[in-house]
């Protein structure tokens, strides 16, 4: 019931608080980017907003590397790949900006590298906003749509496998016709025309004079195969994936929600420093202190640091949790349930038939049997004790056989050892 008992930095391990703080930092991250891209510095100097943008990027990059190092290849997913590409683009932008700053002011090289840095920064804008979707997948609509998107990407593998075979075949035919025509510039036009056909904008004009009539006939065949056959196959695959996921939307959402929660609960770090606050942990705790300080003192310092940096959030969470504690105490006094708030997964519980779907059998088959495990350990320990007793009896028997003088105190001591 005490307010200060809830004012604990360990409460940051709660998945809800971690997710909320990640959303908060992501919104600030996008705000820094929007400000930086709309306030270009022609001189190439770094302002405060751009500096904070790159600091946040470095913190997020360190977090990705740390999780991949500790979790392994199972951590790699669609979102981690998207984040990696985004951070790589921003790293290139920062490096080119530093190269620009190394040249004299108002020089041509400085202006060129400064423009190149902003080009990489502007090129990464779609990834910045797509990154926000990573933290809203706990909402049912977005969570289901992300599962649909993932299924569509997997279904696209079949389409691209067929597309590559078709592209290689027709490209080889066009290259062969180009060698007959002996036109060195035509190959670029052919490649662009083939790409435009895939994107739904075929160009037939330039094939009138391309090895007539073979060039035009070949391009018509290519357009028919790509736009009529392959693209319709892709649409059918997408429709099948969408229908399959939406028919099972409840289970898909609950599975995604559980996976998201477990990612927070089973975090690779004991001390939760959410990026970019992980830079404080890296440069002020791990590097200067962890390698030589005693573990209990190091943990105490981590607790103090977390309490300081998370104090604004802990003020709110402690107030909310204290209020919930009073509500639970009031419910207990009235004989009601401890918690009378119906969560979303509880509302969806009547829509899930775990027994019919076979999930209850899967859970029972994979659930560890604690009692059986304890009994097995006791049986194994008893077996080892019997073996140890046999060895001691053998050693004592050999000692009695080889001893010429019987030492009563020693025998009593041996008998005591054997009894124990």
d(CA 143, CA 150): 11
pLDDT digits (tens, 9 = 90+) for 109-132: 888 898 999 999 999 999 988 888
Tell me the mean pLDDT in the region 15-35: 91
Tell me the mean pLDDT in the region 172-177: 81
Q: Name the 3-class secondary structure at 204.
A: coil
Angle at 401 between CA 400 and CA 406, to 5 degrees: 45
Tell me the mean pLDDT in the region 372-387: 81
Answer yes or no: is pLDDT of 94 > 60: yes
d(CA 26, CA 33): 11
What local confidence, expressed as pLDDT, does residue 28 receive? 93
Q: Of 118-122, 214-218, 281-285, 321-325, which range is least confident? A: 214-218
d(CA 53, CA 117): 14
d(CA 278, CA 165): 47
d(CA 214, CA 208): 10
- The pLDDT confidence band at residue 145, using thresholds 50, 70 and 90, is confident
What local confidence, expressed as pLDDT, does residue 267 receive? 60
Domain boundaries, the chain: 3-142, 144-247, 377-419
d(CA 133, CA 85): 16
Q: How many CA atoms does the CB half-sphere of 227 hold within 13 Å?
A: 16
pLDDT digits (tens, 9 = 90+) for 261-281: 888 887 656 788 888 998 998
What local confidence, expressed as pLDDT, does residue 90 receive? 92
d(CA 55, CA 60): 9
pLDDT digits (tens, 9 = 90+) for 246-256: 777 777 778 88
Long-range contacts of 195-203 (CB under 8 A, 24+ apart): 197/222, 197/223, 197/226, 197/227, 198/163, 198/226, 200/227, 200/231, 202/227
Q: Who has greater pLDDT, 185 or 201?
A: 201
- Residue closest to 232 by CA, chosen among 129, 155, 159: 159
d(CA 409, CA 111): 96
Query: How high does pLDDT run on average in the chain?
Result: 82
What local confidence, expressed as pLDDT, does residue 120 receive? 92
Q: Of 266-275, 361-370, 397-406, which range is least confident? A: 397-406
What local confidence, expressed as pLDDT, does residue 373 receive? 65
Find which of 26-40, 267-281, 362-376, 392-406 is predicted with most confidence, using mean pLDDT. Answer: 26-40
d(CA 117, CA 109): 12
Q: What is the DSSP letter of 291?
A: T
Residue 78, Cβ neighbours under 10 Å: how many? 12
Q: What is the DSSP letter of 104?
A: P
d(CA 206, CA 199): 18
Answer yes or no: is pLDDT of 63 > 70: yes
Helix, strand, coil percentages (3-state) for the chain, rounded to 5, are 80, 0, 20
Q: Who has greater pLDDT, 288 or 358?
A: 288
Find which of 139-153, 223-237, 366-380 is predicted with most confidence, using mean pLDDT. Answer: 223-237
What local confidence, expressed as pLDDT, does residue 158 receive? 78
- Total-model pTM: 0.70
């Amino acid at each position: 019931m005490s307010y200060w008992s809830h004012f604990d930095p360990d409460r940051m391990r709660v998945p809800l608080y971690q997710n909320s703080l990640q959303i908060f930092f992501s919104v600030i991250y996008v705000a820094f980017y929007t400000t930086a891209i709309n306030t270009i510095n022609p001189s190439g100097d770094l302002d405060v907003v751009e500096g904070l943008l790159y600091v946040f990027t470095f913190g997020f990059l360190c977090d990705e590397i740390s999780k991949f190092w500790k979790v392994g290849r199972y951590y790699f997913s669609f979102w981690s790949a998207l984040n990696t590409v985004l951070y790589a683009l921003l790293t290139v932008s920062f490096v080119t900006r530093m190269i620009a700053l190394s040249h004299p002011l108002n020089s041509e090289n400085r202006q060129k590298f400064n423009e190149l840095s902003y080009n990489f920064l502007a090129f990464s804008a779609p990834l910045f906003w797509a990154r926000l979707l990573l933290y809203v997948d706990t909402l049912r609509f977005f969570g289901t749509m992300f599962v649909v998107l993932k299924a569509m990407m997997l279904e696209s593998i079949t389409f691209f496998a067929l597309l590559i075979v078709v592209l290689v075949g027709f490209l080889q035919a066009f290259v062969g016709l180009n060698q007959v025509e002996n036109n060195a510039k035509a190959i670029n036009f052919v490649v662009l025309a083939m790409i435009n056909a895939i994107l739904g904008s075929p160009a037939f004009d330039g094939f009138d004079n391309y090895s007539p009539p073979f060039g035009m006939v070949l391009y018509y065949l290519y357009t028919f195969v790509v736009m009529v056959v392959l693209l319709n196959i892709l649409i059918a695959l997408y429709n099948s994936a969408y229908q399959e996921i939406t028919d099972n939307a409840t289970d898909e959402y609950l599975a995604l929600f559980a996976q998201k929660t477990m990612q927070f609960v089973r975090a690779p770090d004991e001390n939760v420093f959410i990026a970019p606050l992980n830079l404080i942990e890296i440069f002020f705790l791990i590097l200067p202190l962890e390698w030589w300080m005693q573990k209990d003192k190091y943990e105490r310092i981590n607790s103090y640091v977390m309490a300081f940096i998370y104090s604004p959030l802990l003020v709110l969470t402690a107030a909310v949790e204290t209020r919930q504690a009073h509500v639970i105490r009031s419910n207990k006094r009235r004989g009601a349930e401890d918690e009378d708030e119906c969560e979303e997964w509880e509302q969806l519980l009547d829509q899930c038939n775990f027994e019919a779907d076979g999930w209850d059998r899967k859970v029972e088959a994979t659930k560890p049997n604690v009692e059986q495990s304890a009994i097995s350990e006791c049986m194994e320990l008893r077996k080892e004790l019997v073996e140890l007793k046999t060895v001691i009896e053998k050693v004592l028997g050999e000692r009695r056989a080889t001893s010429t003088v019987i030492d009563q105190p020693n025998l009593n001591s041996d008998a005591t050892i054997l009894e124990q």
